[in-house]
Amino acid sequence: MSSTDLPSASGRLLRGPRSAFRWTAYVLGVTSFAGGIPTPFYPLYEQRFGFSAGILGVVFGAYAAGVLLTLFFVAPLAERVGRRNLLYLGMALTAVGALVFALATGVLWLALGRVLAGMAVGATTSVATAAMTDLEPYRDQHHVARVAVAANFGGVALGVTLSGLFAQFGADPSQVVYVLPILASVLGVVAVRATPETATAIRAKLPWRIQRISVPRELRRPFWVAAGGIAACYSIYGFFAALVPSYIRVGLHANSPLAAAGVVALMFGAAAFTQVVTGQIRDRRALLVGFPLLVGALIALVLILPLSSMTWLVLVTAGMGGAVGLTYMGSVTLVDRVAPEAQRGELLAGYYCAGYLALAIPTIGVAEASDWVGLAEAGILFGAVLAVAVAILFVGVLRTPTPPGGGGRPRSGTSKVD
């Protein structure tokens, strides 16, 4: 269905051939935006509700459990119930999760809010990306992957930044700030309503099943390279978001939510910006550059943590964000290109599962270790472990030949944009 088939009221939102595509990308970005909102408030919650850093890590890691729950049990229903209906569900879960955070009176509320935020992501990520693939008018699959990655990272960066501003200057900020993701979700519902349905088997008598993971034997080497890329990026995401707000408050003695939010947002913003400026470096070539940069950034982080220097932290954060953005783009464009259409769901399920499991491990690990050895020491320990792991992954990339057509899925048709 094209945008000209939509009712005139919806058509007002659809200007240009890529408008429906962009509104769907907005919906994808809303869930990431909401996920970033609580980040500057975690040290405040820790003090207000009186729980340890280890419990805070578990709360933060509950996000991954929510993602995997809907990714495996709900997202497979998209073709039968309609992709738009699952995107509506994602917006509803986002709004409810934000409301739970606003009303939180204890740690269980925070954990529930994180689970709901993760469920929104799981219900939305693969479904929105599939819809964007069908809505991209020029069948430019690399553009789809690049915009999806930028929406994810950019959404987190924007959410953390606005939340930091509220935390620094707002009255009763830990409640009022959650109006933002609720309003963004309402606009997301309008956006979904304004875009065409792209599912092809609605109301078909398809058996319900849990999303299974399956990787064809001939694709296992490039798949593990791509899965290693997303695992590296998400583990650094979890590691960084768990470490930095508390490190700035405790290690740098800067009791400024805006400073903590700004550093975290810098990492995600740099990753999103990388999608824009390195669009022609993709697949294995991006990983060959991104992995060494990740190793260098992690080593630099380990070295500067004992120095307690905000200047060095900002510089290393910017470099790490660029490395994460390049690595993630290489990872997602590689898996997109090698995935056979008939097995795309099974392969992408394994891909995202690797990423979100990797997100939870350092998040919980840094928080638990900080109770025993101190925050900076825990950061040094996990940063060193991640650097070694990424170096091993880089060796795997070097030993894995570029699959056929190694420049990524080519554009087909014109590349004109509106």
What CATH number does the domain containing 160 carry? Answer: 1.20.1250.20
Contacts of 108 (CB under 8 A, 6+ apart): none
Range of the domain at 345: 16-196+215-398
Q: How far apart are CA 386 and CA 358, in angstroms?
A: 11
Instruction: Report which of 155, 163, 54 is spatially closest to residue 107, judged by C-alpha positions.
Output: 54
In a domain, 404, yes or no: no
In a domain, 328, yes or no: yes
Q: How many domains does the chain have?
A: 1
In a domain, 418, yes or no: no
Q: How far apart are CA 415 and CA 418, in angstroms?
A: 10
Contacts of 346 (CB under 8 A, 6+ apart): 211, 212, 213, 214, 215
Contacts of 47 (CB under 8 A, 6+ apart): none
In a domain, 83, yes or no: yes
Single pTM value for the model: 0.87
In a domain, 160, yes or no: yes
What is the full per-residue pLDDT of the chain (418 aa) written as tens digits?
Answer: 444 444 444 455 556 567 889 999 999 999 999 999 998 888 788 888 888 777 878 888 899 999 999 999 998 888 888 899 999 999 999 999 999 999 999 999 999 999 999 999 999 988 898 899 889 888 777 788 888 888 999 999 999 999 999 988 877 777 889 999 999 999 999 999 989 998 876 766 666 778 888 888 888 888 999 999 999 999 998 888 778 888 888 888 888 889 989 999 999 999 999 877 876 777 888 899 999 999 999 999 999 999 989 999 999 999 999 999 999 988 988 887 788 877 777 888 889 899 999 988 888 888 788 878 888 888 899 899 999 999 999 998 888 876 654 333 443 433 333 3
Residues listed for the chain: 418
Structure tokens at 46: 């820790």
Structure tokens at 184: 């963004």
Give residue for tokens 């259409």.
Answer: 341
Instruction: Report which of 140, 171, 159, 174 is spatially closest to residue 43, judged by C-alpha positions.
Output: 174
In a domain, 277, yes or no: yes
Give residue for tokens 């970033």.
Answer: 36
Is the separation of the CB atoms in 247 and 309 below 8 Å? no
Half-sphere exposure of 227 (CA within 13 A, CB side): 20
Q: Determine the distance from the C-alpha atom of residue 102 to the mean position of all C-alpha atoms in its chain, rounded to a whole number.
A: 22
Q: How many CB atoms lie within 10 A of CB 207?
A: 5
Helix axes 310-338 and 283-304, enclosed angle (nearest 10): 160
In a domain, 206, yes or no: no
In a domain, 76, yes or no: yes
